[in-house]
Amino acid sequence: MAMRHTRFNMNELAKRAAEAAGDAHTQCVQVEKFSDGMFNKSFLFTMQDGTQVVGKAPNPNAGLAHYTTASEVATMDFVRNRLGTPAPKVLAWSSKAKENPVGAEYIIMEKIAGVQLEEIWPKLDIKDRLEVVKAISGYQKSWMSTSFAQYGSLYYSSDIFENSEGCSLIGENESETREPRFAVGPSTGREFLDDGRMELNFDRGPRSSAEQYKTAIGLRELICVQEITKLPQSSISLYGPGTYYPSRSQKVAALNTYPRMLKFLLPTDTSISSSFLWHPDLHAENIFVTPERPWQVLGIIDWQSSELLPLFDHARQPYLLDHDGPPISGIDPPAFPQNYDQLDSAEQDKAQSLYLKMSLAALYRRYTYTTNERLYKAMEFRETTSFDMMLLAQNLLIDGEALYQSRVLDLEGEWSSLPGVQAYGNPPFPVQLSADEAASIEQDVSGSIKGMELMRDLRKLLGEAWPEKGVVPHDQYDQAKALLKQAKMETIGRMAHSEDERVAWSKSWPFDD
């Protein structure tokens, strides 16, 4: 809650909104607060003539002062006016909290028409859902019409550099042009900010190649592991006696293997390593559509924390296609459950719902394969061992070092088959681990799996009351607290075999009593 508390002058923000919405005589007559998000306070301002605009002020956890707001504004301008995406038009803004009468950073922007896709998505049949997905795919293709020579986040040149010459833009025909209004600067991505990273000083970019960018990620994690006051708690595992328990030395050991392998893990097809600007959180709440024709996208909001990344880092399916079932690969449709006739009616409904969701994800992949080959190649690369190793390494501050080291052991056996290794003439495996180190890693993996199973059991127990990212709805708060207290007692009773172990489990329990 403390990280989401921000103080500012609401009257001054309403005044800025009125000035942005009309002439000097316009007055704001009503302010409505939107539901709190994770990182911002947002409001709907209504003027005396009925005009409405949206205002937002970032919470302290949104990102680095000045940079987060400045990058979001420049990004919305670029995607709206250069990439043809219906991002909100910014009417007024300030990234300097101490230099404006509001007393906080803010953005005033137009109110997008239509409704959030989330409101109507559950009611749409698969045909209409596919049309929506095609529309989103069209915007993804437009984002790929322009790549950048650097990796980081986008800004107005005047906001980060003096006498900047701007940034280099690369068109679909590989022609390079200079854009003086915009510049690539430090990354504002969430992985550069969350879990205590925001408070530490390290190089956030920009970088000039995918290898430099990925190398910087390993250095970022190493610096944070070494300097952060307290290691963050994993969201996927419970730690205590009888499970794996993370330490700085184990994380450092894992991160020291990463740079030795990195250049061999990068894709040999450099076209999918190019730097592109992408929406960071493409879910149904951030997409506004015409209710009667939901494939007509009227606006895509929330460009905060957007990054210029290698295409293969962007190339996941839109979050609105995520489902609680097996991941989709290839372009073939999923198989219908063979035991469908043996299920009861409730289980049949559940199976059919999952099948339709998986079918839609498969249709998205097939449509991408047909209309956007480069993006599909990036999606395929994300299914490789090489990508998995890079993905695991970029969050080792939080968790995964045991599994990462285990994958390093396994990787030696398939090393010569990796395309990146073959491209460099099949050099020997660059990591040497002793038999004792290998045995210790396997023991750590066993404990880590046990800890993840405990967390899965806990999540299953709480069901809809599960505190996603530490947050629960107000009406489920008491229920969640009671269930967590019950789970704590049951877990300690099952896992602790002595008073010392009971104390240790109690201290490591990640939820408040």
Q: Per-residue pLDDT tens for 354-397?
A: 999 999 999 999 999 999 999 999 999 999 999 999 999 999 99
Identify the pLDDT of residue 165.
82
Distance CA(259)–CA(6), nearest Å, equals 39
Share of the chain above pLDDT 70, in %: 100
**Average pLDDT of the residues in 259-267:** 97
**Does residue 56 have a pLDDT over 70?**
yes
Identify the bridge partners of residue 110 per DSSP, sorted by sequence position: 53
137 contacts 295 by C-beta, under 8 angstroms: no
Starting at the edge strand that comes first in sequence, how are the strands of the sheet with 106-110 ordered? 28-33, 40-47, 52-58, 106-110, 90-94
Task: For residue 19, give every residue at least 6 positions away whose Cβ sits within 8 Å of its Cβ, in sequence order, or none.
Answer: 26, 92
Distance CA(292)–CA(107), nearest Å, equals 30
218: its two tokens: 């390993």
**Which tens digits make up the pLDDT trace of 150-164?**
999 999 999 998 777
**Average pLDDT of the residues in 106-133:** 95
The stretches of 30-97 forming alpha helices (DSSP H) are 67-81
pLDDT band at 22 (very low <50, low <70, confident <90, very high): confident
Distance CA(29)–CA(51), nearest Å, equals 10
**Average pLDDT of the residues in 337-348:** 88
176 contacts 170 by C-beta, under 8 angstroms: yes
Distance CA(333)–CA(345), nearest Å, equals 24
pLDDT band at 172 (very low <50, low <70, confident <90, very high): confident
**Average pLDDT of the residues in 279-286:** 94
Q: Which of these ranges, 109-118, 147-156, 320-329, has the smallest mean pLDDT?
A: 320-329
Distance CA(354)–CA(346), nearest Å, equals 13
| Closest to 69 in 3D by CA, of 34, 41, 105 | 105
Report helix, strand or coil for 370.
helix
**Average pLDDT of the residues in 36-43:** 92
Please say whether the dihedral angle defined by the alpha carbons of residues 196, 202, 206 and 208, taken in this order, is positive or negative.
negative
Distance CA(422)–CA(415), nearest Å, equals 9
Identify the pLDDT of residue 513.
65
| Closest to 379 in 3D by CA, of 308, 310, 282 | 310
User: What pTM did the predictor assign?
Assistant: 0.93
